[in-house]
Amino acid sequence: MKEKPILFNAEMVRAIRDNRKTQTRRLIKPQPFSGATNGEIIDQIGGLLPGRSLSSMITDAWQCGFVDVACRYGEIGDRLRVQEEPSIVREITDIRIERIQDISEEDAKAEGCYSNEEYADLAGKENIWPCRVCEGYQAHSAMGIHFGWEEVDCVICDTPIKRFRELWRSVYGEDNWNQNPWVWVIEFRRVEQQAEAAA
């Protein structure tokens, strides 16, 4: 078992501390299949099996050694120490490969993004990672159909996936999300000795 330091922003450290964050996505460097379309990748791996996604097939190929990239964050059973708060240690429980835009609503919540209900309850409070458009209030002013300002619902942050997209863009930039890069999906859990010490 190895232990490696890992960086998170302040809001994600809070989410880890609160046990809301149990996954992290990190860019794979160098990118596998660089420049290849999904169709070309499917041809390279010999096609998709019925009921399987491209990401799950790529993960299987990586686990069998057919995709030549190493996860620099460790392997299942290794530990991650949060660099900004060294007392927080998490054990890696799973690693897979997927495109960043393949994230599901449940995975966006596991990334520490609030559910719609939680986000609505927290609107406008301090230390909540805010939307760049509505600043976390879920509504903002916009030019209305009668050429006047009116309040409209924010469509930038109205789902956990969209909140995750904004978080990703804040770290890696607008273009990176649009390029839909391959990422490591690292799942982790609280280390038992920490859970016992907190009890």
**Looking at residue 21, what is its pLDDT?**
96
Instruction: Please provide the size of the chain in residues.
Output: 199
Consecutive 10-residue averages of pLDDT for the chain (199 residues): 93 90 96 89 89 93 91 96 95 97 95 77 60 60 59 70 89 92 97 58
Strand, coil or helix: what is 189?
strand
**Looking at residue 172, what is its pLDDT?**
92
**Looking at residue 152, what is its pLDDT?**
59
**Looking at residue 166, what is its pLDDT?**
86
Look up residue 170 and give its amino acid: S
Q: What CA–CA distance (Å, rounded) separates 80 from 116? A: 29
> What is the model's pTM?
0.83
Residues 129, 167 contacting (CB under 8 angstroms): yes
**Looking at residue 143, what is its pLDDT?**
55
